[in-house]
Structure 1
Amino acid sequence: DGEKLVSSSIDGTGIIKIWDVGTGRCIHNLREHTGWIWSVTFSPDGQTIASGCNDNTIKIWNANTGECLQTIAAHNAWVLSVTFSVDGKILASGSYDKTIKLWDVETWNCIRTFTGSEDAIWSVAFTPDGEKIASCGFEKIIRLWNVKTGECYQKLAGHKKEIKMLAVSNDGKTLASGCFEPAVKFWDAETGECLATGKEHQAPIRTIAFCSDNKTVATGDNDQIIKLWDAQTGKCVKTFQGYTNSVWSVALSPDGKQIASSHLDAVIRLWDVETGECLQNLRGHIGLIWAVVFSPDGTQIASCSDDESIMVWDVNAGCCRQTFRYPNPTEHYQGGIWTVAFSYCGQFLASGGQDATVKIWDINTGNYRVWQGHQSWVWRVEFNPDGKTLASGSDDHTIKIWDIQTGECMQTLQGHTNNVRSIAFSTDGQFLVSGSEDSKVKLWDVRMGVCEKTLHGHQGLVWPVKFAPNGKFVISGGQDGTLRFWDISTGECLKISEAHNDHISSLDCSRNSRMVITGSLDETIKCWDVESGDCLKTLRVPRPYEGMNITGVKGLTDAHLEMLKTLGAVFNQEN
């Protein structure tokens, strides 16, 4: 009926929100899940909500009360997509375990499992008659399945990269698919023929849907752009531009004079610490940049992205010197690169990401080695200052210590009960600190392989952690927006700064341990005095209407005011 909207997130909170479309008010917060919620959908009658999560479960909810009606132990890996048949009698789910399952809505029993996909399934969709299912994912093809027999009777090939989303028109005649190329393709559902390809997006496509006329398709991408397409011709008929520019990673140069930051707009920025001036904008990536790091001598920056590349930048020249990609993606790689780190000698890079491997790159030759052992995404890699080992933290809840020369996994540190988002070595290399989605910070003795202390206090997941170079304290940043300083010897929380209005995504510390920098999803970078806890400086990329005074402007609704303020406009309530 268009009166409610349901949303989910991969922010680690495990919360689903139900919204009143008319008022914009959140009606219910659904809190039963324990991880990233990849997919939510209403039943055709609007009475039920289904959700799929990386805790491998599907949950069924009462859309009116928010009550959890059923929990289904659905798959052997993350549930990435859930969708109801048009008659509401069957729920389909697609998973990282490469299977599609059909569930009887009356009993919630699994009535059929489709096997045959060669990789994770990102999206599933019923045809309106309920007789077919379309699926897509990492294997770069669309499969069409017979619902009654479970047979894959057709494969639609043409995309060059993983297909994130697909949709079926209301009359069942056309399919639309969006991928990381980025390109949107339109297919004849009966013959499998590709009718048209639209290539106007500049960033990976995240979502796709048919309009009610069956002729128009809407797509959304990482650049916050929505496009409307003619499904027959593949021509873009309209573009809508959104705006937000969260900070995903920050790094302080070894001399403490510059900050490198990566943002949602796929731009790396270099800032002068003293003046707060943005010195350079480095462009080259086409996907979200997850991490930026300085080389030990400060002359280079390495960055990694959703676009499946690592770039090495010359700081002085402001240009990309090298780009590393896997020469055989089907053999060694699938998905984004979440983390990159320089070795202390500056000769090697380590990377990790969605394919659950750790890779070591020779910067001079481009050659790489692949280390396997993790069972899920690798969120963080860090070289030990001793030059002999490397640590990696993963979605499989573990930290692994690797021998750099042999690639052997020497130790697996277990203790976290959720994804390990961040790790860092102490300056002497004897200790490791880790932050996790289980809200805990842990201190590990690397040599013994044991957890020395568990630090409690953050509300929600812990993203960045860091040892102060002087070895006296540990710093952590959380989803709760707080920056916390911990005494290493006692585990006591020495100081809490209410640092940001949203997740702290990244932090770094100066070599003299006197200043900490933080980056946040609230779009700001802040510099902090460690001793006083004061914020020394706030850096922000100017928003579209930065500083525009809208006080006294007539005809603006509350929604207009909020939107303009979000985009940087100033409104004085007292006037």
Structure 2
Amino acid sequence: MKFAYRFSGLLGTVYRRGNLSFTRDGSSLISPVGNRISVFDLKNNKCETFPLATRLNIVCVGLSPDGSLAILIDEEGAALLVSLVGKCVIHHFYFHKPVHSVSFSPDGKKFVITKDNVALMYHAPGKKREFNAFVLDKTYYGPYDETTCIDWTDDSKCFAVGSKDMSTWVFGAERWANLIYYSLGGHKDVIVACFFEENSLDLYTISQDAALCVWQCDTELDGLKPMPPKNAAREKDAAEDDEEFLEEPKGEEIHGKASPSEQETREKVKYSRVAKYFFNKEGDFNNLTCAAYHKETHLLVTGFASGIFHLHELPDFNLIHSLSISDQRIASVSINCTGDWIAFGCSGLGQLLVWEWQSESYVLKQQGHFNSMVSLAYSPDGQYIVTGGEDGKVKVWNTSSSFCFVTFTEHTSGVTAVTFTSNGYVILSASLDGTVRAFDLHRYRNFRTFTSPRPSQFSCLAVDSSGEIVSAGSQDSFEIFIWSMQSGRLLDVLSGHEGPISSLAFNPMKCVLASASWDKTVKLWDMLDSWRTKETFILNSDVLVVAFRPDGKELAVAALNGQITFWDHESAVQTGSIEGRHDLQMGRKELDKITAKQSAKGKSFTTLCYSADGQSILAGGLSKFVCIYNVKEQILMKKFEISCNFSLDAMEEYLDRRKMTEFGSMALIDGGAGDEDGVAIPLPGVKRGDMSYRHFKPEIRVTCLRFSPTGRSWAATTTEGLLIYSLDSGLIFDPFELDIDVTPSNIRKTLHQKEYTMAIVMAFKLNEKKLIQEVIEAVPSDEVDVVCSSLPDLYVEKVLEFLASAFEISCHLEFYLIWAHKLLMLHGQKLKTRSVKLLPVIQFLQKSIQRHFEDVSKLCEWNIYNIKYALAISQQRGMKRLAEEPSEDEEDLDSDSDYLMQEVHKNNSSS
């Protein structure tokens, strides 16, 4: 079993807070998701989350004009310089204060950040070889209050900065004689956005009270005059004076406070307000929260706190659209480079929308669970994941694209458990609303609803391997309910537990149900023998979760005392135990009076999952760590840290003395004021935060763990979302039975001599994926049968595993299908003896083939319908033969049929 699992994706969270940004080509969208960023490829319908992370939640993202670099800044002002090409961190920097916005100049040579009431201009990294990637160029003073927004002119000569003091300042990026700074007023509320007109110094300013001011400048961009050179002696004196008062000796300071002389005033740039418009004409006091402007099409998009957005054409302020997304505040707006797509982010709902305003259609519409996720389940082929949340929604995610493609909202309360049936086309979910619902993935509908005679809150769910028996445990009546999937009737009610039912699990090989309860017992029920109790295991503490091994021969039980015990349920004998309390490593909350070490003594694992081969077990709970144990040796193999985001609670290992005052924790002081960044004081026993407070810090926890049936990945539902960890063996040299003669040159030499079987064996010994692909693809298709029959049994499994991974990226579908068919036909009987061990590999192969089957079948159906349509058109034309020239209608029919046939050929060639 390999343990090289690495973070590979984040599902269920599409937007948290911060600004949205389109890439340079306009086809991808970058969205901050907590302390990570996700890139949504809108043309290929895929999502990717970068493996890098900041220490706290990201509040602003700045993209370089060439699209290769990005600056990510978190809540405390710590910045990461990130390569979007290599997906790695290049440089760390700390601005010492919270940063409100960051923006690169259009020429890519400078970038400006705003913090407090100053604007700092830095040399852009990558243009020169510097020891420090962020070199300060100038510091601009002017506003009296915090700065809020930035915008550059098209030639990068000037930039504008908005402020909370209701003023907008225009600064020169260089020392211009007629424009060093200029202050604009005219607003009665905080400046939300400011935008320069295309190739002009004309300016639009927008305030929070939904007012737009249009400012006209009397000078063109070409009219800016360079500052005459100063005397060298004066420059030296000025530099010495600056060094005495500046904290950072580098960089020049520009103050916007001094009053210029009368002669200088005549020569300088002047602005005049030519118009002022109001968005809320009906007197609706609705705060404007964000805005974006596309200079080429003169399109202004504004978002409001009520979820409404407006599209206007400037400078005439003509209303194009006025639509509503939801009743939540729109936190961010962005327009792509062509001006066709508009992205909206709602932090309250965690919602991300991309709207094509000309056709009035959605390009992307994604939303995670409103509250935290509680449970998850993989489909039998590992292609889909279903999640249930406290918001009562059941969502199904595609693991290839990371998108949610269907949401079921029939439940009226929180969903506690979800699972797939064995055929993979039915989803079952249990909820606190007293129902268990079955959903059909063919028609996307709720076709069965299972209820109990008396209303009960269902806390757990299980379905047997045949998919015919559904069971759910109640947390208030201490009973287990059994239904028939076929008829929907209640078959029996199993009673015997004296506490809430915490977990249910069916044996994969036999019709035996294991139930765990807070009454410190685990009961086994025989479904074929009148649902009688077969066995009862008594433990020392409340039982929280049970799980069967994939072969059904072992049962794992996690209890409240932090122990994981293993049982042979046939003989009712305990075969081993793991003391996992210290491995859980609980973090310290901000308001805890005890240390994290002491706090961990009362914690336990709340979710268990066997690996696909049954050799290891995953365990997680109220902690940022997920532990993987070897079942046979009963030792900890590896710990995965699922989050390093200190914006979540229970992340600290030790008490931070900087957050302590003589009156106690700073969290206690800030919490009473209702500040947005304060920490609310939770009520006793409240785990998820008191919703009556304006703000609360969510606690890091792992609610559910599941291994993929393919064995290549595992998933965890956490406070941050649905995290996927998968095997990434591309960067690891992991040879298998390597000999001194096995080298790439010898492998190619053997291949050239047409000893294909020997070359394949040598390639797998070296275990380099590209070399294996080269060797297998060099085998002629008519030789595949002979090579497969002569392969040693040990390498058949390895070839199948390679074929499954190659299907995902290769275009040689028929060639690899021939390989898979021959291997399974020739070695099928031998593979049956190791079916349990080989099951993950076979399921991985099935998942890859199934995905290609769905794609190709859609394309073939589309081609068949188009060919039939083209044939019908040609027959219609033949029936209307005329002696004269064909009419205009017939020419149109000819052109239509030719066009359709060209499309068919194009699709076939692209596939």
User: Normalising to structure 1: TM-score of the pair?
Assistant: 0.48
- Greater RCO (CA < 8 Å, at least 6 residues apart): 2
Bigger Rg, structure 1 or 2:
2
Instruction: Give 1 or 2: higher helix fraction.
Output: 2
- The structure whose residues are more often strand, as a share, is 1
- The TM-score, its normalising length taken from structure 2, stands at 0.31
